[in-house]
A and B are shown apart, each in its own frame.
Chain A
Amino acid sequence: MDNKIKMQAKNVDFFYGKTQALKKVSLDVYSHKVTAMIGPSGCGKSTFIRLFNRMNELVPHTTLCGEIFLDDLEINNPLVDAVDIRRRVGMVFQKPNPFPKSIFENISYGLKVNGIKNKAFIEHKVEDSLKKAVIWDEVKNRLNDSALKLSGGQQQRLCIARCLAVETEVILFDEPCASLDPISTAKIEELILELKKEYSIVIVTHNMQQAARVSDCTGFFLLGELVEFGKTQDIFTAPKDKRTEAYITGRFG
């Protein structure tokens, strides 16, 4: 892999209270690639992805050791504001979490908190983001309706559009299809493949087929350890570690 590294975790340990959730995890996220993280429930993959935009800071009594880089910037440096990191590293969550506001306001919110006031620009950006997230045709005639009236799959694409509007460099997907039906899932997977042209993408998923379909690199997590990390093709066809092989062939998890 000769691509540019966008984000990098180096020797990351993470604790909830005294419970260690991640053990010496090092992993590279390449620019304009999709990096998938797979593993059984509770293996630490969601915890890990939330470190990339400092989301775990919101959880009390947690400790982080090790370094995480965004380009050359160590994001946990005390001089770095978490807000600035989150403006560059967006996130789509497991359950669709639109704001209880209109569809339009859901998208424009991120622009407004980033200090953009130009109305015409905001309107253009809202349309553009909704188009990129392939939901524009479904909502263009009801932008002032509450976002909560949309279906689960539509809500999730709205959340993706919301994230696209702020023009981050990296998008983290934390099991984005966990609560969606297969058709909505397929739409989101297509979208991810489209988005990697412009963004670097990290996706956590329970679904191994999904990882195989959308990702370029895959990391397999087990009990807080990164067991194996490499090209998706290699992980799925010729895993080096026996545990990876066992998981992929469905012997546990």
Chain B
Amino acid sequence: MKKDFSQSLGFFGLFLCMAVTLLALGSIIYFITVRGFSVLSWDFLTKVPYSAMTKGGIAPVIVGTFYITFGSIIFALPLGLACAIYLCEYSPKSVVVNIIRISINNLAGVPSVVFGLFGLAVFVKFFGFGVSILSGSLTLGILALPMIISSAQEALLAVPQSIREASLSLGATKWETIKNIVLPTALPGILTGVILSIGRVAGETAPILFTAAAFYTRGYPKSIFSEVMALPYHIYALMTEGAHPDKQRAIAYGCSLVLLLLVLFISGLAIILRQRQRSSHG
């Protein structure tokens, strides 16, 4: 009887923690939706801004966010995956490799503004890419790298040794085994890492502050060397600069809602992709 009670109490405690978390999440979505929904319209999503950004839409801002997010993933995914494959499959198990692993994990803990400064020094200035989509994508890509590497590593390590052995025993080379057996099996896990990275990258402000973002550009970006408007920075700019704070605030909430929906949309897409992959293999 006493045991039953303490167990119920324990479960209730766990439920409470879950409820608090859910409440926090729910209230964020609620506030953003309530405040941002009024400005949301088809025009808001498809028109360019005018009248000192108090009128029109935010289409170029959304496009800019897409560009730098996908740019960063295009850069970080192959590099991170190759790195993870090397570390998991090829590198000798040594102290040096362990140090590399630990360093990569620590890279994930570096504050994002530091990545921003690094991007400014290296991509904007040293390589001369200027404040551009390219610089911003590369900077965000570096930010995403540790996440992609560590999730890919986990996914690769989770592939059972027995099916690697099966492949090798059939006369496949190591690379054939990795390409045909290990990678397809690890793909859902790798995609999870990509999902998380996209969510993080799309919402980052500090790394693009000095490398890609502009408060206002006329129309859409023309090339990868153009400055862009991007949602996270746009929200920041609307709240801190400009001449019409009241009108801007409403738009800022609208932008937040769009950013939230955008990240949800991208994640949803990746989750569907992952499910499809799983069901075809499982």
Q: B-contacting residues of A (Cβ < 8 Å)? A: 53, 55, 58, 60, 83-84, 86-87, 90-91, 93, 95, 97-101, 109-110, 112-114, 146, 148, 159, 162-163, 166
B282 within 8 A of A: yes
- CB nearest to A112 among chain B residues: B180
Contacts of B173 in A (CB 8 A): 83, 113
Residues on B facing A (Cβ under 8 Å): 93, 160-173, 176, 180-181, 184-185, 280-282
CB distance from B224 to the nearest CB of A (A): 38
Q: Is the CB of B282 within 8 A of A159?
A: no
Q: Do A166 and B171 touch (CB < 8 A)?
A: yes
Report 15 cross-chain contacts, Cβ distance below 8 Å, ordered by A residue: A53-B169, A55-B165, A55-B169, A58-B164, A60-B93, A87-B171, A93-B166, A93-B169, A95-B162, A99-B181, A110-B171, A110-B172, A159-B166, A163-B169, A166-B170
B166 close to A86 (CB less than 8 A): no
Contact of A93 among B162, B180, B185, B280 (CB under 8 A): B162
- Which residues of chain B are near A60, meaning CB under 8 Å? 93
With A93-B165, A101-B281: A109-B93 Cβ-Cβ less than 8 Å: no
A109 in contact with B180 given A83-B173, A162-B170 (CB within 8 Å):
yes
Say whether B169 contacts A90, CB under 8 Å: yes
Task: Tell me the minimal C-beta distance from A250 to chain B in angstroms.
Answer: 31
A113 to B168, CA, bound (A): 10
Chain A residues whose C-beta falls within 8 Å of the C-beta of B93 in the assembled complex: 60
A58 and B165 form a contact (CB under 8 A):
yes
In the complex, residue of chain A having the shortest beta-carbon distance to the beta carbon of B159: A100
Decide if the interface of chain B is mainly helix, strand, loop or mixed.
helix
Q: Which residues of A contact B161 (CB under 8 A)?
A: 58
A-chain residues with CB within 8 Å of residue B184 when the two chains form the complex? 100-101
Does the CB pair B170–A148 fall under 8 Å?
no
A148, B176: Cβ atoms closer than 8 Å: no
Whether A113 contacts B180 by the Cβ 8 Å rule is: yes
Chain B nearest Cβ from A91, distance in angstroms: 4
Instruction: Give the CA-CA distance A91 to B172 in the complex, in Å.
Output: 13
- CA A135 – CA B187 in complex, angstroms? 30
Which residues of the other chain, A, contact B167 by a CB distance below 8 angstroms? 99, 109, 113
Q: Which of A87, A101, A163 has the most CB of B within 10 A?
A: A101
Residues of B within 8 A of A55 (CB): 165, 168-169
Is B163 a contact of A86 with CB atoms below 8 Å? no
Chain B residue at smallest Cβ distance from A84: B171
Q: Which residue of B lies closest to A54 (CB)?
A: B168
Known: A93-B162, A93-B165, A113-B176. A100 touches B170 (CB 8 A): no
- Identify the 9 closest CB pairs spanning chains A and B, nearest first: A87-B171, A110-B170, A97-B162, A113-B172, A91-B169, A100-B281, A97-B166, A86-B171, A113-B176
Residues of A within 8 A of B169 (CB): 53, 55, 86, 90-91, 93, 163
A97 / chain B contacts, CB cutoff of 8 Å: 160, 162-163, 165-166
A159 and B167 CA atoms in complex are apart in Å by 11
Inter-chain CA distance A100–B184, complex, in Å, is 9
Question: How far does the alpha carbon of A58 sit from the alpha carbon of B169 in the complex, in Å?
Answer: 11
- CB pair A58–B168 under 8 Å, yes or no, is yes
Q: A83 touching B165 by the CB < 8 A rule?
A: no
Whether A100 and B162, one on each chain, are in contact in the complex, defined by CB atoms closer than 8 angstroms, is no
Q: Which of B166, B168, B176, B280 sits near A99, CB closer than 8 Å?
A: B166
Seed contacts A53-B169, A99-B181, A162-B166; 11 additional CB < 8 Å A-B pairs? A84-B171, A93-B162, A93-B169, A98-B166, A99-B166, A101-B281, A109-B181, A112-B180, A146-B281, A148-B282, A159-B166
Whole-angstrom distance from the CB of A158 to the nearest CB of chain B? 11
Closest B residue to A147 using CB positions: B281
- Cα separation A177 to B181 with both chains bound (whole Å): 25
Bound Cα distance from A121 to B180, whole angstroms: 21
In angstroms, Cα B173 to Cα A90, docked, is: 14
Q: What's the minimum C-beta distance from B170 to chain A, rounded to whole angstroms?
A: 4
Contact among A100, A110, A162, A166 for B282, CB-based, below 8 A: A100
The residue from B160, B164, B170, B172 contacting A163, defined by CB atoms under 8 A apart: B170
* Separation of A162 and B170 alpha carbons in the complex (Å): 8
Q: What's the nearest-Cβ distance from chain B to residue A157, in Å?
A: 14
Knowing A97-B163, A113-B176, say if A90 contacts B281 (CB, 8 Å): no
Chain A CB within 10 A, most for which of B163, B172, B181, B185: B172
B163 in complex: contacting residue of A58, A91, A99, A146, CB < 8 Å:
A99
A166 to B173, CA, bound (A): 14
Q: How far is the CB of B88 from chain A (nearest CB, A)?
A: 14
